[in-house]
Amino acid sequence: MKRRTAVQASIGVVATLALAACGGGNTSGGSAGPANLTIALNSAPNSLDPAQVAIGPFLNYMDPAYTSLLSRKADGSLAAGLAEKWGYVGSGNTKFQLTLRKGVKFADGTPITAADVVNSLKYYQKGSGPNGSFYRPLTFATPDTSTVVVSSPTPNPDMGTLFTPEFMGGAVISPAGLKDPKKLASATFGAGPYVYSPQQSVLNDHYVYLPNKNFYDQAAVHFKKITVRVMPNVNSQAQALKAGQIDLMYGTPDVAPTIAGTKSLATLKSLTTWAGLFLLDRDGTVVKGLRDVRVRQALNFAIDRTAITKAVYGHFGSPVAQPAMPGYDGYSPEAEKAYPYDPAKAKQLLKAAGYAKGLTIPVNYGSFDPSTTKMVQAVQDQLSKVGVTLKLRAAANFGGWINDLLTKTYAATVLSPGQGGGENFYAQQPGFTRTGIMNVFGVDDPDVDAAYDRLAKSDPQSSGTTAKDLTDVIVRKALALPVSGTDTIAMYNTKLHGVQFGKGTAQLTPNTTWTTR
Q: pLDDT digit string (tens) for 208-223?
A: 999 999 999 999 999 9
pLDDT at residue 139, rounded to an integer? 97
Percentage of residues in the chain having pLDDT higher than 70? 92
Express each pLDDT in 380-410 by its tens digit: 999 999 999 999 999 987 778 888 999 999 9
Judge whether 228 and 206 are in contact, CB under 8 Å: yes
**Per the omega criterion (within 30 degrees of 0), is the bond before 460 cis?**
no
Q: Choose between 7 and 195: higher pLDDT.
A: 195
Q: Is the pLDDT assigned to residue 29 strictly greater than 50?
A: no
Query: Given a cut of 80, is residue 15 above it in pLDDT?
Result: no
The C-alpha angle with vertex 511 and arms to 510 and 512, in degrees rounded to 5, equals 90
Angle between helices 446-457 and 463-476 (to 10 degrees): 170
Mean of per-residue pLDDT scores for the chain:
89
Q: What's the pLDDT score for residue 252?
A: 87
- Integer-rounded Cα radius of gyration of the chain: 23
CA 420, CA 170: separation in Å to the nearest integer? 21
- Residue 310 CA, chain-centre distance (Å), reads 24
Asked whether residue 357 carries a pLDDT value surpassing 90, the answer given is yes
pLDDT of residue 435: 81
Q: Which residues pair with 439 in a beta bridge?
A: none
Percent of the chain at pLDDT exceeding 90: 70
Tell me the C-alpha distance between 39 and 23, whole Å. Answer: 5
Q: What is the pTM of this model?
A: 0.81
**Least confident among 25-29, 88-92, 225-229, 308-312:** 25-29
- For the chain, percent helix, then strand, then coil, each to nearest 5? 35, 25, 40
Across 116-129, average pLDDT: 93
Dihedral pair phi/psi, residue 501, rounded to 5°: -85, 135
Q: Of residues 463 and 321, which shows the higher confidence score? A: 321
User: pLDDT category, 7, cuts 50, 70, 90?
Assistant: very low
Q: Lowest mean pLDDT: which of 58-67, 411-420, 464-473?
A: 411-420
Q: Read off φ and ψ for residue 84, nearest 5 degrees.
A: -105, -15
- Quick: pLDDT tens for 295-313: 999 999 999 999 999 999 9
Q: How many CA atoms lie within 13 A of 466 on its CB side?
A: 21
pLDDT of residue 22: 34
Q: Which CATH class is domain 271-487?
A: alpha beta
- Mean pLDDT throughout 427-450? 90
In the DSSP assignment, the letter for residue 434 is: T
Instruction: State the Cα–Cα distance between residues 420 and 17, nearest whole angstrom.
Output: 9
For the residues of 69-83, what is the DSSP string, one character each? SEEE-TTS-EEESSE
Domain boundaries of the chain, sorted by first residue: 2-264+494-513, 271-487
* Check whether domain 2-264+494-513 has CATH 3.40.190.10, yes or no: yes
- CA–CA separation, 98 and 82 (whole Å): 9
Residue type, 320: V
Reply yes or no on whether the pLDDT at 24 is more than 80: no
SS3 284: coil
Burial 303-328 (b: 16+ CB within 10 A, else e): bbbeebbeebbeebbbbbbbbbbeeb
Q: What is the pLDDT of residue 223?
A: 97
**Segment 18-26 mean pLDDT:** 40
Q: Rounded CA gap, 378 and 218, in Å?
A: 52
Comparing 167 with 225, which gets the higher pLDDT?
225
Q: Which tens digit of pLDDT belongs to each residue from 96-111?
A: 999 999 999 999 999 9
Three-state helix/strand/coil letters over 214-272: CCCCHHHCCEEEEEEEECCCHHHHHHHHHCCECCEEEECCCCHHHHCCCCCEEEEEEEE
Which residues lie closer than 8 Å to 282 by C-beta, 6 or more apart?
290, 291, 296, 441, 443, 445, 479
How sure is the predictor about 12, in pLDDT bands with cuts at 50, 70 and 90?
A: very low
Residue 3 phi, psi dihedral angles, 5° rounding? -65, -40
Q: What is the mean pLDDT of residues 355-378?
A: 92
Give per-residue pLDDT as tens, 38-82: 999 988 888 999 998 877 788 999 999 999 999 998 788 899 999
